[in-house]
């Protein structure tokens, strides 16, 4: 299915309009609920395949993107604002403003390993192989501790890596920890506490200050109401 492109009179040229990137997956439902409370809800009728959706608020549209792509769309100005996880932002290292932390999407990026080695200090691992979807954050964490780790980047379930001797440790997002426990793994260290964040394009922040200011104020009030 070919999606309709953004209209020519996009947010880049209309200072009253906003294009906002939303992440597919675990944050989307809570993001939509938060936007609804703020008066910027998505119009009903989404058939699950549309990637550009209108809002109940005039001059606002939403783009549904892969979570790791949200910072890219916003940094390059295809979207004025976006909602992303702090873990994604710190891994991507994009040049964005972060005007508002949002009260959902709580989790932590953690180092985990087999339960049998849970008490062994990480510094005693000579050259651990570490499987992760977050290579930059993982490499920086071990480097700060003077550990020369071999980083193995995966895009699927990293918990599988120690089970098949691909890696000694994993770095992944943890909420309840049940997935780790189900696979014989234990949480060892927390690298980063994460939650949802509103991000903004730097140029749009200046050029569309009234529209963005009203949106941020409404979202902040809804988040703390």
Backbone φ and ψ of 141, nearest 5°: -60, -50
For residue 87, give the 3-state DSSP assignment: helix
pLDDT of residue 175: 92
Q: Show the low-confidence residues of the chain (pLDDT under 50).
A: 1-12
Residue range 18-105+195-223 forms a domain whose CATH class is alpha beta
pLDDT of residue 117: 77
Q: What is the pTM of this model?
A: 0.87
Instruction: Give domain 107-194's CATH superfamily.
Output: Periplasmic binding protein-like II (3.40.190.10)
Enumerate the H helices of 145-196 as residue ranges.
Answer: 160-163, 178-182
Q: How far apart are CA 62 and CA 60, in angstroms?
A: 7
**Common-topology check for domains 18-105+195-223 and 107-194:** yes
Q: How far apart are CA 10 and CA 207, in angstroms?
A: 14
Tokens of 189: 């260290």
Q: How far apart are CA 192 and CA 50, in angstroms?
A: 33
């Amino acid at each position: 299915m070919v999606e309709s492109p953004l209209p020519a009179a996009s947010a880049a040229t209309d200072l009253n309009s906003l294009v906002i990137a939303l992440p597919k997956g675990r944050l989307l439902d809570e993001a939509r609920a938060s936007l609804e409370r703020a008066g910027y809800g998505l119009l009903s009728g989404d058939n699950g395949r549309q990637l550009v959706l209108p809002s109940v608020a005039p001059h606002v549209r939403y783009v549904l993107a892969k979570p790791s792509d949200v910072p890219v769309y916003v940094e390059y100005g295809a979207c004025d604002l976006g909602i992303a996880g702090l873990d994604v932002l710190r891994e991507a290292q994009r040049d964005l403003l972060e005007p508002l932390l949002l009260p959902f999407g709580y989790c932590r990026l953690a180092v985990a390993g087999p339960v049998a080695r849970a008490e062994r200090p990480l510094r005693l691992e000579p050259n651990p192989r570490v499987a992760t979807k977050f290579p930059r954050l993982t490499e920086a964490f071990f480097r700060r501790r003077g550990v020369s780790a071999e980083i193995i980047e995966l895009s699927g379930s990293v918990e599988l890596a120690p089970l098949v001797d691909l890696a000694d440790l994993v770095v992944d997002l943890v909420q309840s920890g049940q997935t780790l426990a189900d696979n014989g793994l234990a949480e060892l260290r927390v690298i980063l506490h994460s939650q949802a964040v509103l991000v903004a394009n730097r140029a749009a922040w200046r050029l569309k200050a009234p529209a963005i200011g009203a949106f941020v104020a409404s979202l902040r009030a809804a988040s703390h109401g």
